[in-house]
């Protein structure tokens, strides 16, 4: 494989990663709509974005493997391909968890939730946008912006746990719906963690310190 061929195939991988970023974000947006009003159409969109992310993941993984076999990259080139493969996995998990949230939302049937959970959805969408910006710009500062924003998500998750527990203790919510809400909050917190991991792999590919 010539250097030109390698660069062309790596550009294809990056294109697939961008498509996965879009699918993940659209999945989160759809999950938020499903959560707000038990919207079955929105839940179906989240499921479709998960399926799309799965297909993109498979295509990107095959391409990364082909690059490794044909190019046998070392040093920086190996770091770039390794990071790309790891980012692909993180983004697929985000789409998967967005679909899980949407399914849980239908069980909840639009039940009233703590306001901080709406803020968690907004934070997840913001992290998705920041991750896309970092993937497009290849700027270390943009990747670190994703990592820093996770503090917002963590704070909201802590608040959500407290608020959900309070409604159970006050007899305002049954255990099953409380568990569904808690799992939704946990999935959102994990989405934030996956975006952090994605950003850290971006920094690794750029040869930059993670923190």
Q: Which pair of tokens denotes residue 28?
A: 């989160």
The predicted pLDDT at position 18 comes to: 97
Q: What is the pTM of this model?
A: 0.94
The span from the CA of 182 to the CA of 180, in Å, is: 5
CB 188 within 8 A of CB 199: no
Question: Which residue blocks in the chain are alpha helix, DSSP H?
Answer: 3-37, 40-71, 75-108, 115-137, 140-169, 175-205
CB 142 within 8 A of CB 206: no
The span from the CA of 111 to the CA of 38, in Å, is: 8
Q: What is the pLDDT of residues 23-38, one digit of tens each?
A: 999 999 999 999 999 9
The predicted pLDDT at position 168 comes to: 82
Whole-Å CA distances, 77 to 20, 137, 151, 162, 199 = 22, 19, 32, 46, 18
Residue indicated by tokens 């061929």: 5
Q: Burial-class residue 180 by CB neighbours within 10 Å (0-12, 13-18, 19+).
A: buried
Structural domains in the chain, CATH included, are 3-205 (1.20.58.220)
Q: Which pair of tokens denotes residue 80?
A: 């770039």
- DSSP 8-state secondary structure symbol assigned to residue 113: -
The predicted pLDDT at position 176 comes to: 84
The predicted pLDDT at position 180 comes to: 94
CB 30 within 8 A of CB 42: yes
The predicted pLDDT at position 173 comes to: 67
The predicted pLDDT at position 172 comes to: 67
């Amino acid at each position: 494989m010539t250097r030109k061929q390698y660069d062309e195939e790596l550009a294809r991988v990056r294109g697939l990663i961008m498509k996965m970023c879009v699918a993940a974000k659209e999945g989160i947006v759809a999950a938020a709509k499903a959560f707000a009003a038990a919207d079955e159409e929105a839940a179906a969109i989240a499921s479709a974005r998960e399926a799309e992310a799965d297909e993109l993941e498979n295509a990107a993984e095959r391409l990364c493997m082909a690059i490794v076999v044909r190019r046998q990259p070392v040093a920086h080139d190996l770091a770039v391909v390794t990071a790309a493969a790891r980012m692909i996995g993180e983004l697929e998990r985000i789409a998967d968890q967005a679909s899980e949230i949407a399914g849980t939302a239908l069980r909840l049937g639009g039940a009233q939730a703590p306001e901080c959970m709406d803020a968690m959805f907004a934070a997840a969408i913001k992290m998705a946008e920041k991750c896309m910006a970092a993937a497009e710009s290849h700027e270390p500062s943009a990747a670190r912006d994703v990592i820093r924003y996770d503090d917002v998500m963590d704070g909201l998750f802590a608040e959500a746990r407290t608020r959900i527990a309070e409604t159970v203790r006050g007899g305002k919510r049954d255990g099953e719906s409380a568990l569904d809400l808690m799992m939704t909050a946990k999935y959102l917190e994990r989405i934030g963690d996956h975006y952090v991991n994605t950003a850290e792999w971006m920094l690794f590919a750029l040869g930059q310190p993670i923190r």
